[in-house]
Structure 1
Amino acid sequence: MFVNVNAHPGTRSRVLNELAELSRAKAISSEFKYKKGSEVYGESEPAEYIYQVVEGAVRSHKLLSDGRRQIGAFHLAGDIFGLENGAVHRFTAEAITDTTVRLMKRRTLEHVAESDVTVALDLLNMTTSNLQHAEDHMLLLGRKTSLERVAAFLLEMDRRLTAAGVLALPMSRRDIADYLGLTLETVSRALSYLHGKGILDFACQSQRQIVLMDRAQLANLDL
């Protein structure tokens, strides 16, 4: 469902290079553009492709029986997603902003992995990263306070998104709330608290561009 190759620069570089080589050599990938809010694939649809965000951002989510939405992951530029253990997708994936996605046939990549040890190891590393993210997210939802969850989210996005000192969030506060298992109001209160403490500042009126002023103090909140 999710592979955060951005979290592991060495793996990210190797995987992206290999996907590019495979694309050129075998013409097995295509690029598609998705408008903001449009579906990339739906829950329970056949998992026939593996996806990579070229530009933009994607969220993976599941609708609960009571109508609530739980976001499992955010996929940012360079991330590979849609790699499932079974034959169908367990989550729905949607474009958060206007997004370009590269598609590669899953079976083709599996065939390559059968004869290329490096690709096979990369697929194993992606699966391991997927499991680690799921475990970390479960811990975040089950054991951390609302402020700790928001702090953990900001630190995760800081590792993956920050450019020129600004953390530019493509997702809305509603998305953040559904990822952290909180209400929109709780997320807003936590961000206001961190702003009041001088831990972060807002670089624009929409408050989606954040400057982290005190990463050490923010990390202390992510216990």
Structure 2
Amino acid sequence: MLVRVNAPSRRSVDGHLTVLAGERVFSSQFKYPRGAEVFGEREDAEYVYQIISGAVRTYKLLPDGRRQINSFHLAGDMFGLENGTIHRFTAEAIVETNVRIMRRRSLIDAMTNEGGGATKLLILFTRNLQHAENHMLLLGRKNALEKVAAFLLEMHERLAHPKELTLPMSRRDIADYLGLTLETVSRALSTMRDRKMLCFNGVTNRKIVLLDREGLAEIDT
């Protein structure tokens, strides 16, 4: 279930969308509670989304029932802009999440009517392709410790290098993103803690302080 935060309005779109659209597009804000589906796999890709606060995971259920998470989207990130007409993944709110929603056609029209719009559109799709390539390389790593180190460094970078890394996703989510088991992710994090590379704050262990970022980078490489 989603909750409308405000009625549709003609307003500036912040972050990446301002850079891409240039002018103004119609948008609405919605609030999704934790675990709510934003869109489902194979649904029509009619809208594009930008996260105002919270986090979203996109995933695909495999034939054997396992879940493969394709990406985590954080505040400021865009998602849902597909190459085709349907969504290839399901999108789900990890925590209570506020998103800005606009029609895909309106965004593309605004971009193509701006100077250099075709280039902006190409940059957007290229960025998505680069993420897919990086994730494929990550899944191909032989060492679970490398995967977890790479994930922590990725999150640290995307969250603008905070002193304390607060992860919205669970260890199960991390495992499904990295192609590992929950137990393997837990062992890798414990190994890094024992090596004094990180420490945990709070009872949920989702707050992490990276004590040795250079050491994690050495593992990653």
TM-score (norm 1): 0.88
Deviation of the 1:20 alpha carbon: 8.4
3-state SS of paired residue (1:170)? coil
3-state SS of paired residue (1:78)? coil
Of 165, 168, 175, 2:166 maps to: 168
Q: Is the 8 A contact 2:21 2:110 kept in 1?
A: no
In the alignment, what sits opposite 1:102?
100
Q: Is the 8 A contact 1:15 1:122 kept in 2?
A: no
Higher relative contact order (CA 8 A, sep 6+): 1
3-state SS of paired residue (1:117)? coil
Structure 2: 5+ residue stretches without partners: 1-13
The amino acid across from 2:122 in the alignment is L
Name which of structure 1's ranges 57-66 and 201-210 shifts more when overlaid on structure 2: 201-210
In the alignment, what sits opposite 1:17?
18
In the alignment, what sits opposite 1:60?
58
Deviations 1:10-45 (A, max 9, x none): xxx8624347864xx44x110110000000000000
Matched, 1:218 2:216: yes
Aligned residues: 208
- What stretches of structure 1 move > 6 A for 4+ residues in a row? none
Name which of structure 1's ranges 106-115 and 152-161 shifts more when overlaid on structure 2: 106-115
Deviation of the 1:145 alpha carbon: 1.2
TM-score (norm 2): 0.89
Structure-2 change in CA distance of 1:192 and 1:219 (3 Å): same
3-state SS of paired residue (2:84)? coil
Name which of structure 1's ranges 156-165 and 205-214 shifts more when overlaid on structure 2: 156-165
In the alignment, what sits opposite 1:138?
136
Alignment identity in percent?
60
Structure 1: 5+ residue stretches without partners: 1-12
- Aligned CA-pair RMSD: 1.7
The amino acid across from 1:107 in the alignment is R
In the alignment, what sits opposite 2:4?
none
Q: Is the 8 A contact 2:16 2:78 kept in 1?
A: no
Q: Hey, what's the Cα distance between the residues in 1 that align with 2:116 and 2:16? A: 9
